[in-house]
Amino acid sequence: MNWWQAHRPTTRRLIQLYSALLHNAHIRGFIDGEIYQGKAKYACVPGFNCYSCPGAIGACPLGSIQNALASTGHRAGWYVLGIIMLFGVILGRTICGWLCPLGLIQELLHKIPTPKLQKSRITRVLSWLKYVIIAVFVVAIPLWYGLKHDIPVPGFCKYICPAGTFEGAMGLLSNPGNSDLFSMLGILFTRKFTIMLVIGLACIFCYRSFCRFLCPLGAIYGLFNRFSLVGVKVDTVRCNQCGACVRNCGMDIRHVGDHECINCARCIDGCSQKAISLRAGNITLKAPEDGLPGEAEDAPAKRKKASRIAWGIALAVLCFALLWFNFLDPAVKAEKKPAPAPESSAPTATVEEETPTDDTGAPSDGQTDSEESNPTADSSTAEQSFESSAPIGYDVGQQLQDFTLTCFDGSEFHLADTRGKVTFINLWATYCTPCVQELPHFSALYKEHEGDIAMIAVHSSIVTDDPEEYLANKDWAMPFALDTDDDTLWDIVNGSTTLPQTIVLNRRGEVIYNQKGSVTPEMLAALYEQAAAG
């Protein structure tokens, strides 16, 4: 019992653990190596938690802010701004001290036994660095690329965010089913991985280094600390200005409750005057062990009773969340299966060839003289069958299950009608920077081989910007469509939350390429030649 009394987790630590689990209630995401894509993902969670973490059930507010700023030319991000203000007005930096999963990780790292760096004038000056990061990486970079180039570039998430590297990238890469993602890693990931290691090491030696010096979200919430509903309050009548609360605080505060205070309430137990309490309006959430001076004798007992009731409700909510996000949510699939083969045999197509082909079946570079390409060929249009006996599937050598999508222009894209042509399927999203950057390459290829190529770009069913509105002023030639709510095409081609993804079919409808990651014009040209040659 003595050991347990000395080492048992505090109420705040239990709430931090609870919050981290609730933020990442999609436990099966770590097993399947997939990101949750249900409707709850449209909502922002209060704490700093990467959208791409396999367990995340909501969107990171910081990433949502950057996405909203990048989309300023198309729509105003009132929802994101409103929800951030709501979190700030109600909780302020209490979110940092009690609810943020990344804050918990930092505190656990700091528990590693090593010499510790104490706060000083230098750390106090460094604490202003996070406001510079807000201005440059959270505001300026997304606005610049969004308004000037119409490309979504979440500067902080792309270049710095350790949560994105640890929770998102590492969370996905650690799953054996995502081994193909390693081919997508480059210098950007190497830099971010290095930044993550440096920040992690800094947290071992210096209390909550990321939170104090770099976190833009904490800086935003800090602006609301002075008037937030929940926070640490000081009874100025009882306070004797001894300064113990400031000296013993690990953060770079000048006084309790300022913009650097995370409302962790550790100062309550260190105040000899019992002048500090954690309050929500007129309700006392945490007070000294034996109560506040002048309050009713049964007040501590009432708080303990209310705490038990609150914990009961919280545990019920957690159990429901775990059940819903892992089993009951329609967006959660029991397992990822290849698309089933249709009952009938694979569709065959007979197409009219307007240009002759050589003995490999590839177009003969636009030659119209039938004697040159095939002396025995009739000058009239020839018919050729493109039947395939390959099994249905999405791997190289298999043929895709047939599907039909309604395009934004009202036309229909029917896969069976593409037999005889080289077919490109591109999976993309407006919020995916590499996706948007490579779309002009697909358009150029489509224009170059128009008549001999079938192509469709399919937007993910997760929509943050209206894809049709986004495409309104673009001069991209190929048709565009939106995947269905049940991700029909995503299942057929083995799509994932990692974008972009390109699928290439030869003239018989057989897969010759199905990979995640960006493509270059040279790659597209080579893939076309390979598919055209059969």
Assign residue 501 the CATH number of its domain. Answer: 3.40.30.10
**Cα separation, 401 vs 393, whole angstroms:** 7
**Cα separation, 10 vs 4, whole angstroms:** 11
Tell me which of 209, 224, 239 is where a domain ends.
Answer: 224
**Predicted pLDDT at 448:** 95
Alpha helices in 257-393 (DSSP H): 266-270, 299-323, 370-373
**Predicted pLDDT at 8:** 86
**Predicted pLDDT at 444:** 96
Examine residue 315 and state whether it is found in any structural domain, yes or no: no
Placement of tokens 């894209």 in the chain: 413
Tell me which of 174, 203, 224 is where a domain ends.
Answer: 224
Examine residue 291 and state whether it is found in any structural domain, yes or no: no
**Predicted pLDDT at 276:** 95
**Predicted pLDDT at 417:** 94
**Cα separation, 173 vs 475, whole angstroms:** 36
Examine residue 250 and state whether it is found in any structural domain, yes or no: no
**Predicted pLDDT at 361:** 38
Examine residue 92 and state whether it is found in any structural domain, yes or no: yes
Examine residue 19 and state whether it is found in any structural domain, yes or no: yes
Examine residue 286 and state whether it is found in any structural domain, yes or no: no
**Cα separation, 211 vs 402, whole angstroms:** 51
Pairing of strands 422-428, 453-459: parallel
Query: What amino acid is encoded at 321 in this protein?
Result: A
**Cα separation, 269 vs 11, whole angstroms:** 13
Select from 345, 353, 466, 322 the least CA-distant residue to 402.
Answer: 345
Provide the domain limits for residue 133: 10-224
**Cα separation, 259 vs 89, whole angstroms:** 13
**Cα separation, 440 vs 452, whole angstroms:** 18
Examine residue 381 and state whether it is found in any structural domain, yes or no: no
**Predicted pLDDT at 418:** 94
Give the Cβ contact number of residue 91 at 10 Å: 23
Number of structural domains in the chain: 2
What tens-digit pLDDT sequence spans the chain (534 residues)?
677 777 789 999 999 999 999 999 999 999 988 899 888 988 999 999 999 999 999 999 999 999 888 887 777 778 899 999 999 999 999 999 999 999 999 999 999 999 999 999 999 999 999 999 999 999 999 999 988 888 889 999 999 999 999 999 999 999 998 887 887 788 989 999 999 999 999 999 999 999 999 999 999 999 999 999 999 999 999 999 999 999 999 999 999 999 999 999 999 988 999 999 999 999 999 998 877 887 888 888 899 999 999 999 999 999 999 999 999 998 885 444 444 444 433 343 333 333 333 433 333 343 434 334 344 333 333 446 788 889 999 999 999 999 999 999 999 999 999 999 999 999 999 888 899 999 999 999 999 999 999 999 999 988 777 899 889 888 899 999 999 877 889 989 998 878 899 999 999 999 999 999 899 999 999 999 999 987
What spatial distance separates the first Cα and last Cα of the chain, rounded to whole Å? 74
Tell me which of 189, 224, 259 is where a domain ends.
Answer: 224
**Predicted pLDDT at 351:** 37
**Predicted pLDDT at 384:** 61
CB 449 within 8 A of CB 422: yes
Examine residue 28 and state whether it is found in any structural domain, yes or no: yes
∠470-476-479 over CA atoms, to 5°? 85
**Cα separation, 280 vs 72, whole angstroms:** 35
